[in-house]
Each structure stands twice: as C-alpha cells, then as structure tokens.
Structure 1
Amino acid sequence: MSTASRKPTARLLTKPVLAWASWDWGSAAFNAVMTTFVFTVYLTSDAFGGETYASEVLGWGLAVAGLLIALLAPVTGQRSDVGGRRKLWLGVNSLVVALLTAMCFFVFPRPELLIFGVALIAAANIFFEFAGVNYNAMLAQISTPHSVGRISGFGWAMGYVGGIVALIIVLIAFVQPVVDWFGSNTADGLNIRLVAVFSALWFLAFALPVMFAVPEIPRQERADKLGFLASYELLFRRIKAIYRTSPHTIFFLLASAIFRDGLAAVFTFGGIIAAGTFGFELSEVILFAIVGNVIAAIGAVIGGFFDDRVGPKLVIIVSLIGLLIAGTAVLVLGASTYEVFGVQWTGDTTFWVFGLMLTLFVGPAQASSRAYLARLSPRGEEGEMFGLYATTGRAVSFLAPALFSLFIGIYGEQRFGIIGILVVLFAGLLVLLPVKPPAKVAPAVVPAP
C-alpha cells in the first residue's frame, strides 16, 4: 500500500506527530550546542594545541565520520526496514549519541586529549546520522500525502526552536552565567564540559516520547536470511531497479545532495562570516544564531503549508532563488557603509537584514526536501531511501567548504567565500529544475529481500 492511498486525518498535530517532532527538538542540543556553536569551538581553542592544528584534526575526524556514514547509512536503513526495527534502531542510536556526548565531560583542555575529544564528536556524528535515517523514515508513518509537507516543516521548526531554547540555557547558565554556581566554574573548562552533560540529558529526554507514541513497522518476510554483505547486493539491485522504473527519484537524490550542501554551508559559515567580515563579537554571533533560528522556524512552518498546496519542488525552487538573492546582497554590499534615502546603511545592517533572509529560506528548503523524498519512497522502504539520502549528501559534502576556501584564496578576502556557497546553491537549482515533481514521478519498483 503506497502512502498515496492513505486517507488524510482531520488533525495535523496528533500525539505521534508531537512525539516525533520532540526528537527534532532534542537533537538541537547536539547540532547547535555540541557541533556548531559551543563544544567544537572549545575543542579548537589554543588549549588543545593551537586553533589551526586542532581545527585540522577535527576536520579530518569529521571527514572519516562522513565516509563511514556514506558507506553504511543506506544498509542500516534497509536492515531496519526489513527487520521491522526502525523504532528500535532510532532508540539505540539516539542512546549511543547521548552517551558519547556525555563522555565529552572527560575532555579536559589539554593537547593530549584532543584526539579523544575529536573521536567522541566524530563517533557521535556517525550514530546521529544513523538515527536520523530512521527518524526521517518515520515521516511516512505519521503523515499522509495531504499533510507530509506541513508535518516535515513542523519537525524542522521544532528543531530550530529547540536549538534556541538550548542555546539560551547554555548561554545564561554556562557560558555567560547570570548567577554564580557550580556550572559557571571555568577552571579546567568545567563549564563547557558540563554543557556536554546538559546536551546529552536534553537530547535523551526529548528523544523518549517517540519511542512510546509511534508504533514499530511490521517485519518483512525472509528478514533473517539477509546477511550484512547480502544487504549491499540487495542495495545495488534496488538502486538499479529504482533508476529503471523511476529515474527521477535518483535525479532528485543527486540534486538534493548538491543544494543541501549549500544549505548546510549557510549555517556552517554564517557565524564565521559574521565575526570575520562584519566584526561581530561572540555574544553577537550567538544572538544572531538565536534570532536566525526563530526566522528559520517560521520559514519552515510557512514552507510546509505551501508544500502541501503547491508541492515541494516549487517551495524548494523559490527558497533557492531567495537564498541566491540574499547571499548576493551580503556579498555585494559587504561591510561597507552606504547612505540609503538619507539613512546610513552599515555592514551590520547588511548582515542582519540579508543574513536573516538567508535563514528564512533555509528552513523551507530543508523541510520540503525531506517531504519530497518521503513522497517518492516506496512503502516500507523509507529507511533505505533516507539512507541513500544521507549517503548522497555526504558524497558531495566537500563542495561548499572547498569552494568557500577557493574563492577566499582567489580574492584574498573572507566575504568572497560567499561566492562558493552561491555556486553550489545555483548548481543544485539547475540540477533540480528538470526533475519531475513527486506527483508526476512513477512509483519505484524494488526487488524483495
């Protein structure tokens, strides 16, 4: 039975939907706090052997993690589909992420512990992506073709809002505490190490509801006979079958891999550009991140609303065009001061206006991309499809960072790295344009296990 044959429900925010979105809310503690704004900044500080050296080690660690994700994600998704263990493996992987995050408490600010810290973050990234494969696949279980866009957008919005709340708590309790308490002690990096414990508990607490509210998928026949290596043979046969019966599904995976790399770069390098080009202090960067997450959450909800009415492809196209316009404005206006209708327009104004415009369009593009694939996935094979989604994304994840650095090298100024991000977004848009929308794509036929 395909997702298209299911009848829409009257209510959008059902108990399963709220429980599912709660996982996204909790995961923000790992995404925003651990890997973006707080713990990796701590890990690449001078205390670990110098910013340049520590950053290089972290980069290599995450590169190895990305390679393992690319190799293993489709098969782990496939095996959870076949074995009827999607919820089980979501829970197991989430627990492992929480444990690895909590272990970061033991990463004292010493050069000899850099490898240990990088290994923990890299391993947590691997299991987080594995959990994400099963989590995204659940979207088909809790939605219908009439609501998948809004529910996907709601999940992304919950993630952004969860990131806002977690960042605020971390800021006022650990980084710049408003009261003097045990967690505000900076000796031996105690406050930041306690942030790791906070993030682990936050993630684990909000990951629990989905384990009770969303039922497990049924087990498929012959599941016990499918060995691990045989899973790869089945995977390749299914990719060939999908390309033969539904080539636009493969085309979308390729297009989304490109533009999703550009979307990730917007957040990855946004803080760097804010500080380096526009002179933002750390507190201003965190404030921008909080406001940006609010705008991104609003954008994800609005995008989900239109997704269910005009389809995900149009939402993604409009979002990518909006991103290209906003990014070009940041690049062209730069950090210079202009007079607009008698009012001074400073570099700060440029980044606040057009930087927030970037975040407005990132949310809809991310949410609709997930909803797009959920609509294309054959019933019961969602885990494998989202595993491919993770793999294709990882396969090109070097594009935006490499082009960002290339254009900085060419022009000798940080803000020109924006050109690299714009090139990736534009390439993704061009590849997406000829891809048929889900309603016009023939359902894929995949061989049985």
Structure 2
Amino acid sequence: MSTGAPSTVHRRGRAVFSWALWDWGSAAFNTVILTFVFTVYLTERVAVDPESGSKALGVALTIAGVCIALVAPVTGQRSDAGGRRKLWLAVHTGLVIVCTAGLFFVQNEPSFLVLGLVLLATASVFAEFATVNYNAMLLQVSTPATIGRISGFGWGMGYFGGLIALVIVLIGFVQPSVGLFGVTAADGLNIRVVALFAAMWFAVFALPLFAFVPEAPSSGEQVRHALLGSYVVLGKRLAWMWREERRTLGFLVASAIYRDGLAAIFTFGGVIAAGTFGFSPSEVVVFAISANLVAGLGAFLGGRADDRFGPKAVIVAALFGLVLVGGLLLVLPPGKAAFWVCGLTLAIFLGPTQSASRTFLARIATPGKEGEVFGLYATTGRAVSFLGPLAFSGFIALFGSQRAGMGGIVLILLVGLIAMLPVRSPDRPPEPTEVPAADAS
C-alpha cells in the first residue's frame, strides 16, 4: 500500500459525504413540499374541498410523469457522452429551487390552485431529471463492495435531512400562531414561507457535491446529433438491451411498477393522514418527523443487508412488508392510533426498497452508460406513473371516499412484487477491503 492511500481514503470519504448531502438537501422538496406540507396545503386549504384537490393533484403529477418519461433517458444519455453529469445536475437542481421558491406566491384561495399545481409539477419534473444524474454518480463514490451501504447512507441522509427540515418547519412556522419573523396563517403565509425555507435548504446542502465530487469521464461518444436524434440512439440501445440485457429490462419494468406505488405513498401519505384519519396540519408534520426517523434507520440497515444478501433479497422482503402492512391499514378502523402504528411500520420498508433498487441497477449497468440507464430507470417509472395517481384518484371517484384510494396503492405494490420475483439477482460483490485496489496506487 502506498503512502498516498490515507489521503485517497479521505478524499473518497469527503466525496461520499458531499454526495449524500445533496440527498439531505433534496429532502426539503421531496418531504416538506411534495409529501407532508405543501401538497396538504393545496388539497386542504387552497382547493375547494379535499376530494377535488386530491384529484387535481393526481392529474398534475400524471402530466409531469409523462414529461419525465419522454425526456429523462435522453438527458442521461447526453450527459454520459459529454461527461457533464455535474453540469446538468446543477442546472436541474437550480430549476427545482426556483420553482419551489415560486410556491411562496400561492395563497389559500381556489384561484391560486392552478399556479400551485403548475409549479409543483414543474419542480417534480426537474427534480427527477436531477436525480437521474445524481443516481449515476453513485458509482463515482463507491466500490462494488460498498455500493449498498453507500446507497443506503445516501437515502438515510435524505430521510434525516427531511426530519430536521420538518422539525424546523413545525416549530418555526406550522404550529405556532405567530411563527418566526412574525409569520401567521393569514393568506396561508406560514406555509408559503415554508416554500422559501425549502428552497434555501436545498440550495445550501447541494453545494458541497459540486465542490468535492469529481466529474464523470466522458463515455467517449460524440454528441453530434440533435435532440430528436438522441431518440434514435436510444431506440438502438433498447434493441440491444432486448437481445443482450434482458435482466436489465425485466428489472426496469418490475421496478417501474412498485416504485410507482412507493411514489404514491410519499405523495398521498400526508393527504390521507389529514383527510381520512383526521390529522391536523401539525399532527401530519409530527408524524412525518417520526416516519423520516424510522425510514432513515431502515435505509442504513437495508444498505448493509444489501451488501451482505444482495439487493433483490432486500427489495422482495421490503415489498412484502409494504403490501402486508398497507393491507392492514386499509381494513383497520380509521383511527389515529392505527395510522401511527401502520404508517411507521411502512416507513421501515421504504428506505431499503429505494436504496436496493438503485444499487441493483448500478451493479448491472454497462460502464459508461450509467446516466442513460438511470434515465431509463426514471422513464420506465414515469411511463407507468399514471398508475399511482390514477389508482388513487380513480378509487376515490369509484367508491366515493378518500380512504378507498389506498387500495389502489397496495394493489400496485403487489403487482410490482410479483413482477420482481423472476428477475435474476446481480452477481455477488467481492468482499470489502480496507482500501480499494484501484485507489492503492
């Protein structure tokens, strides 16, 4: 081992931590805005009534999903070829921050609902584009032996970042009658200020990645074709994958289904807590804080289980737990205690499912094609992303109650679990070493 090894390990550790801090920062959008605070505000206080607000939210996110499905793999493909993952991650992160800050102008009147939905949907599109390049960077900060725990560390940081952000939001703005800076609930100001806070939170914690994570090398391909030509390249790539990488395609299809169920839990969890189980806005945030703590611990433990047992075992076990507990939540009496117990149990399985899905794909991705493959990962998920919102809003329309929407979410998770069973596991990683051989030079 050379004397430069400790310095290399230090740089790798700094890069891993900086990479994970982006997840910590992005939680301000995913957790505070998209799941527990602003979507609840839109459906409960801006819309005419929760049912119509929930259906409108589902429609807006379905449209966003279509946009992601059409564009995500091409953006990943072009960033691979040009070696510009960090550049495009910066651009898309900045656009999410701008849209999030724009939510400040959404007052609690029905006439502002469209503005809120447009900004929320647009931010979700660019957040997904950013995540494509962020996920592809996993291989830049890990080794085959540590990819599971580093992915789990990233997801755990995201959950804990969401937890801290929610605590600040709850104590500083949501719960008190007069919050920080004299903010009150008049015109929804206490929630609108939360949007500004979330934008600043994301901006601050995203910065270290751009300073300390090295840029990926170019794949060696020249981006000489126009944007439309990228779809021709993509079509050829898919045809090749059909011939040579059936496992990758099988995983993309299966994960698309169950990840849509996971997304529905995140998107509509706070809405269900408020509309079906009678949680107040403050109680929704308190529950979210507890759920993020439990989910973060689950992600850390799931990452270690991933390196030991493989990602497929983690995914299948976690999906089985989600289906079982989600079914119980559907049939139990709609009391707050039932939601607390079942909701926190669900949270245990969320992080491991997400983290192991990312490592499954990273382990089988063709070197130099990670951005494109994770773009396909986003696209296949969004190609069926209408399933979650449609099942949720459709079941509400069919059965006339918000609670019925949970049945559609559980059904999607079950179908995804069944589709995942025949997908072959990645090869087992090598045993971890103190210093990766590639770095000990």
Same fold by TM (over 0.5)?
yes
Structure 2 contact 65–386 (Cα < 8 Å) conserved: no
Q: Which residue of 1 aligns with 2:72?
A: 73
Distance 1:264 1:57, change over 3 A: closer
Q: CA offsets per residue over residues 15-43 of structure 1, 9 Å max, x none?
A: 11100000000001111122222223333
Percent identical among aligned pairs is 56
Q: Which residue of 2 aligns with 1:381?
A: 369
Q: Mind listing any 5+ residue stretches in structure 2 that lack a counterpart?
A: 1-7, 430-441
1:118 aligns with 2:100: no
Question: Aligned equivalents of 1:400 and 1:299: distance in 2?
Answer: 23
CA RMSD of aligned residues (A): 2.5
Q: Which residue of 2 aligns with 1:248?
A: 247
Q: Which residue of 2 aligns with 1:309?
A: 308
Question: Aligned equivalents of 1:190 and 1:348: distance in 2?
Answer: 28
Structure 1 contact 175–184 (Cα < 8 Å) conserved: no
Offset of residue 191 of structure 1: 2.4
1:137 aligns with 2:136: yes
Secondary structure, in 3 states, of the residue corresponding to 2:375? helix
1:438 aligns with 2:426: yes
Q: Which residue of 1 aligns with 2:285?
A: 286
Structure 2 contact 33–195 (Cα < 8 Å) conserved: yes
> Aligned to 1:360, which of 335, 348, 357?
348
Structure 1 contact 16–213 (Cα < 8 Å) conserved: yes
Q: CA offsets per residue over residues 314-346 of structure 1, 9 Å max, x none?
A: 0001111111222232234334xxxxxxxxxxx
Question: Aligned equivalents of 1:114 and 1:273: distance in 2?
Answer: 19
Offset of residue 129 of structure 1: 0.9
TM-score w.r.t. the length of structure 2 is 0.89
Offset of residue 274 of structure 1: 3.1
Q: Which residue of 2 aligns with 1:6?
A: none
Amino acid at match of 1:352: W
Structure 2 contact 138–151 (Cα < 8 Å) conserved: yes
Give the 5 Å matches for 1:116-195. 116-177=115-176, 180-195=179-194
Question: Aligned equivalents of 2:187 and 2:276: distance in 1?
Answer: 32
Amino acid at match of 1:215: P
Which structure ranks higher in relative contact order (CA pairs < 8 Å, sequence separation ≥ 6)? 2
> Which range is displaced more, 321-330 or 178-187?
178-187
Secondary structure, in 3 states, of the residue corresponding to 1:279? coil
Distance 1:327 1:61, change over 3 A: closer
Structure 2 contact 157–296 (Cα < 8 Å) conserved: yes
Distance 1:49 1:179, change over 3 A: closer
Secondary structure, in 3 states, of the residue corresponding to 1:14? helix
Q: Mind listing any 5+ residue stretches in structure 1 that lack a counterpart?
A: 1-8, 336-346, 442-449
Q: Which residue of 2 aligns with 1:342?
A: none
Deviating runs (4+, > 6 A) in structure 1?
Answer: 9-13
Q: Which residue of 2 aligns with 1:447?
A: none
Q: Which residue of 2 aligns with 1:39?
A: 38
Question: Aligned equivalents of 1:181 and 1:332: distance in 2?
Answer: 41
Question: Aligned equivalents of 1:54 and 1:406: distance in 2?
Answer: 13
Question: Aligned equivalents of 2:178 and 2:111: distance in 1?
Answer: 32
Structure 2 contact 37–270 (Cα < 8 Å) conserved: no
Amino acid at match of 1:175: V
Q: How many residues align?
A: 422
> Which range is displaced more, 44-53 or 151-160?
44-53
Q: Which residue of 2 aligns with 1:27?
A: 26
Q: Which residue of 2 aligns with 1:340?
A: none
TM-score w.r.t. the length of structure 1 is 0.87
Offset of residue 355 of structure 1: 2.0
Question: Aligned equivalents of 2:194 and 2:160: distance in 1?
Answer: 18
Distance 1:326 1:223, change over 3 A: same
Structure 2 contact 248–364 (Cα < 8 Å) conserved: yes
Offset of residue 46 of structure 1: 4.9
Offset of residue 425 of structure 1: 1.4
Question: Aligned equivalents of 2:132 and 2:182: distance in 1?
Answer: 34
